[in-house]
Amino acid sequence: MKLREAPKRRGDGGDLPEVGDGAATRASTHRAEAAVGLVDRVLWAAYRRLGRHYLPAMVFGFALVLVPGGSEFANWIHGSHLLPGASRTVLWIEIHLVVTATAIVTWLRMWPTTAAVRRWWRTGRPDARAPAVWTSLSTLSRKGTVTFIVALLAIDTIGTVSMAGALNEGIRGTLSSLLGSTFLASGGMVLAYFLIELVVRPVVFDAASRLPRDFRPQARAIPFGAKVFGSLLGASWFACGLGLWIGSGDEPLAELLAPGLLVAGVTFVGVLLMTLLITRALKRPMDDLIRMSRQAGTGDFRARAPVASADEQGELTASFNQMVGDLGRVNDALNVSRARIVAASDEARRKVERDLHDGAQQHLVLAQLKLGLLEREISDDERARKIANDLRGELERGLQELRELARGIYPATLESEGLPGALSEVAERSPMDMTTDFDSAGRYTRELETAVYFCCLEAIQNATKHAGDGAQATIRLRSEGGALRFELVDDGVGFDASSTSPDGGIQHMADRLGAVGGELKVRSAPGEGTTVSGSVPIVASPSARGGDR
Amino acid sequence: MTRAERQDLNGNVTGKVTLLIVDDHAAFRSFARDLVSAAGFSVAGEAEDGESALTAVESLRPDVVLLDIQLPGIDGIEVARRIADEPDAPTVVLTSTREASEFGARLSMSGARGFIPKGELTADRLTELVSNGRP
């Protein structure tokens, strides 16, 4: 097991990994577990112990440490005169009441989701409620974050107002206190965001690793700009608030309102501008990389992202460019190799077919002809004639089987007549009711004709086998837009193409077409027949073919 | 005796009809020689590939060529086409272990008199095809 393998991430808000196998895979859970280091291991251990009580316990635990810790810190800065002993006790009680209430609310909010997910894990099968469970799960992280932030703000407001009341600050003083504490709380929120992400990760990873592949994470991502803006503003306000509070010394809190508002406004505008600058500088290269990756994902490896700087970003872009280039070259080599293998296999087929005709079949035909001579010689002998007659039957059956075998290996008609002739012959021989519709009688390269022929043959054989009794089929050939397209449409029983993975035959067809740069599509639904279609780019049309026999 | 020497004043062929056998299988050539001889043809010669068939037609001037399609080098259909281009071309009968359908339209464009699958080759079929008028 790799210890530092980065977890696969998708989006930002949910931080859900790509789901592995449909079965509950402990392996992927372990990988995710190992990926995020010591803190996560501690959290995982807690998660395993606490189960569905994990999240509320975390909220309660953090709030218990952070909020009183924060207020003690503030008291330490201002000196013990800020709060008289009695008020301090009241504030302490208030804070703990709010924290307890928050934990209970969090537990209640999280409980249906975690309970449903755990029930699902226990039974091991996604039931009718599965999508609902999944939706809840994908919002789990967001839910936790929002709950935490709301709790922090609530505690902050209640604490500040009660503190200002205890000090008889008046409305202006209370507002000023609120402003100062909001500065501090906004910094707390940034902290909370990352904290919650960390805390929720074990639950989400574990859940996601157990989910079937079909249930893809639908987490809503937080845009990059919003993250930068939130972090910067939170950090700035936190620093400003702390500075104002400490700098004010023994001045009445009311005096801090005007400079506090000014600082808040200026910081807001400054952060906004910085966000735009940072986002612009970082996001454009990221967008380029995303665009290039997507293009490469579709099989087009020509795209390159501009390397605009010599820093880490530039290095990343350059290495990405190199990676995509390498991928392209490997892909090209693979395609050439695949085409070569298919061509070699087709050539071998042709050779075997020729050998059968020129070798075994020649001898059998000659034997048949000589048997004719013999039959004339022994026409008086009843018994000998009967034996010769039996022998003729055997010979004819052998020859017929040999012809069928040779035709199956490689049809001579394809060489002489091209696709329309060869496919018409297949349609005629097929036990299925089959019509042909060809608008293209042209000749193409041998590779293209062979690929299309064997794909159609496979499709026809599949239709004959699976379409059901009385089904009819039409086979079409069209030359349009620089590509040769074929289609086999049957009105048979069909199948659920969305849930059936391609079998060997279909994969073989796709491989064959892929080797000549083409692609295959299979559309089907129960009771609605099946359509197998494909298209191959036309490379060149040889003027004359078939003169090499 | 060339064809010209066996023609009467009206241009009809007299005496035995001469025949060239072209096949790359010696066993088949031997069988065909027996078959056509028994049917009253005179075997002018044998050839085992397309090139030597064309040379033999040129030098032996046979009346009929029994021509296998699958030959090393240029195939029988191409040989038939080239023979047909010659002035005073002999009658060409194509044969093969394959069925006619496998050659498609190339057969009808070859200029040959007809096609007999090897398995159905008999003296009667051959005589009938040769003695019939051009299609």
Chain B: give the shortest CA distance to residue A213, in Å: 50
CA angle A397, A398, A402 (to 5 degrees): 115
Which of B23, B24, B97 to probe the A interface (max A CBs under 10 A)?
Answer: B97
Partnered with residue A522 across adjacent β-strands are A532
Quick one: which of A158, A191, A151, A193 has its CA closest to A60?
Answer: A151
Helix (H/G/I), strand (E/B), else coil: A203: helix
Contact A34, A148 (CB under 8 A): no
pTM of the full structure: 0.55
Contact A50, A57 (CB under 8 A): yes
**DSSP code at position B129:** H
- How, if at all, do strands A530-537 and B18-22 pair? unpaired
From chain A, pick out residues whose CB is under 8 angstroms from the CB of B78.
547
From chain A, pick out residues whose CB is under 8 angstroms from the CB of B27.
362-363, 366
Helix (H/G/I), strand (E/B), else coil: A410: coil
| pLDDT tens sequence for chain A (549 residues) | 333 333 333 333 333 333 333 334 445 445 544 554 677 678 778 888 887 677 777 777 766 676 666 666 666 655 544 455 555 565 566 666 666 666 676 666 666 666 666 666 666 655 445 444 444 455 555 666 666 667 667 767 776 777 677 667 677 777 877 777 777 666 666 665 666 666 666 666 666 665 555 444 444 456 677 777 777 777 777 777 667 666 665 666 667 677 777 877 888 888 888 888 877 777 778 888 888 888 888 888 888 888 877 887 788 888 888 988 999 999 889 888 888 888 898 889 888 988 888 888 889 999 998 898 898 889 899 999 999 999 999 999 999 899 888 888 888 888 888 888 889 888 888 888 889 888 876 888 888 899 999 999 989 988 888 888 888 899 999 888 888 999 999 988 888 776 666 667 788 888 888 888 888 999 888 888 899 999 998 875 544 444 333
How far is the CA of A259 from the CAs of A187, A239, A253, in angstroms?
19, 14, 11
Name every residue whose Cβ is closer than 8 Å to that of residue A275 and which is 6 or more positions away in sequence.
Answer: A225, A228, A229, A232
The H or E element containing residue B64 is: strand B64-68
Beta-carbon count within 10 A of A6 CB: 9
Dig out the tokens for A357 from the structure: 């005709």
Distance CA A338, CA A344 (A): 10
Q: A269-304 burial by CB neighbour count: b if 16+ within 10 A, else e?
A: eebeeebeeebeeeeebeebbeebeeebeeeebeeb
Helix (H/G/I), strand (E/B), else coil: A433: strand
Residues of A with CB under 8 A from a CB of B: 354, 357-358, 361-363, 365-366, 368-370, 372-373, 399, 403, 411-413, 416-417, 421, 425, 546-549
pLDDT digits (tens, 9 = 90+) for B55-85: 999 999 999 999 999 898 898 999 999 999 8
Distance CA B4, CA B16 (A): 13
Which of A416, A423, A548 to probe the B interface (max B CBs under 10 A)?
Answer: A416
Quick one: which of A230, A226, A239, A232 has its CA closest to A274?
Answer: A232
Report ipTM for this prediction: 0.80
